[in-house]
Structure 1
């Protein structure tokens, strides 16, 4: 069997951590380009091992997600679906609201419901 016949697919790489995807795609491209060289098999095995490790970490993160709770007393809870849609459609979202409205505590949970903390990390800033 040729090394090219048993390489991971781009769709499999899409199941990995965001931080691993560029490196794994680069290795996949290199293996396709250098096909037929002696190092191909070792490179293929390394790529498959790294791909598997990344996918397993994604699966562990997904399994450990706590069920989100959105307290009705917080104003942001009433608009969480709208906020989730904005996060899905835009790379950057600026959210303003009163102190105590739940911006800092509920926004990461909204991101988790969109699986944003599974493939990468959730980061949000607060001006201080």
Structure 2
């Protein structure tokens, strides 16, 4: 099952002229590293993903960049934490809009139970 409906992607992709060269370089490097098995562990590469993909390509801001930011690492949600959260953050506000649970590149099935946690990454 696709995360985004193919017709919606096709409709909106028609309006994209070109990926900026610096973004293309980052994305190509990411793809190369994935193919070489360098991003097998989520813990080893979560900072790289946040900085290179979320900040440099997609334009989110980190707490070190400004007084308010849009991406935060290890945020509490319910009785646990999410690896990354997108939203509105400041010294006095935490408004999570998109929780991220990062997984290594070798993760094949996001619906399989994780050892010791008794739930799936999707759950």
TM-score (norm 2): 0.26
Q: Which one has a bigger Cα radius of gyration?
A: 1
TM-score (norm 1): 0.26
